[in-house]
Amino acid sequence: MDFFGVSREITRSHAYKKLAQLSISSTSEESDISGKQSLLSQIGKGSSGLSNVAISLNEYEILVALCEGTRQGTVSASKAQLLTQKFRQYLLELPQQQFSEHVFTFLGDLPPWLSLAEKVTAALVDLTLVSHGFLVTEVLDTFMAFVESLFGTCNLELSSYLALLGFMKALTKNPSIFTANESSLKLFQLLDSSIDSVDFLTSAEYYSAYLASYP
């Protein structure tokens, strides 16, 4: 149902963004008691196996709202730490992640792997560069783990390429992450050597040709 010409999806998305700001705001340290942190409790359940369960539209929108909320620079230290851990879970499992059909319908032509990889990566960068520099080592470790895991897979699926594309888009929009500390250079070198390898470029070319042969 639409309300005064505004779709339910837009209304829900706006509400999630407001709740996300309250959930992670540095002025909401009592949110555990008041319930404002409920959005944080609805993502990243369990320590592993996220990709075995399809992400619902509700979970997707909550995750996106929390990612975008990091841009404000008002995330408390404790919640920044929690978000970093939860975002790490999603990023590492994203190449194999399943999504509900409602997510595909909601996004239209935009692949969820690309969209979520870009938003989660950008959020991790924001948490490090905008508000909490002490997280830089943990964030860079997450990025290194993502690259090593993805390129360590023998047979990359389309979702892997899309997740990598979203990851790279976010990093190119925030190049200062490559000068954050001494580990930044290692990340750059790992990406450069992995993407510029003959094996990867050959498989990428083959996969692109394979996709182009189908309508």
- Write out the DSSP string of 139-171: HHHHHHHHHHHHHT-SS--HHHHHHHHHHHHHH
CB 142 within 8 A of CB 97: no
pLDDT in tens, 48-72: 566 678 999 989 998 998 998 887 7
CA–CA separation, 69 and 84 (whole Å): 13
Judge contact between 108 and 49, C-beta under 8 A. Answer: no
What pLDDT is attached to residue 142? 96
First to last CA, the chain: 35
Q: Are 40 and 70 in contact (CB under 8 A)?
A: no
d(CA 88, CA 83): 8
**pTM of this structure:** 0.83
The confidence band for 36, taking pLDDT boundaries of 50, 70 and 90, is very low
Q: SS3 for 54?
A: coil
| Burial label, 59 (beta-carbon count in 10 A; 0-12, 13-18, 19+) | buried
Distance in angstroms (rounded) separating the CA atoms of residues 138 and 144 = 10
Least confident of 17-21, 174-178, 181-185: 17-21
Note the pLDDT tens digit of each residue in 66-101: 998 887 767 888 888 889 999 999 999 999 999 999
What span, in angstroms and rounded, lies between the C-alpha atoms of 37 and 29? 9
Residue 33, pLDDT score: 38
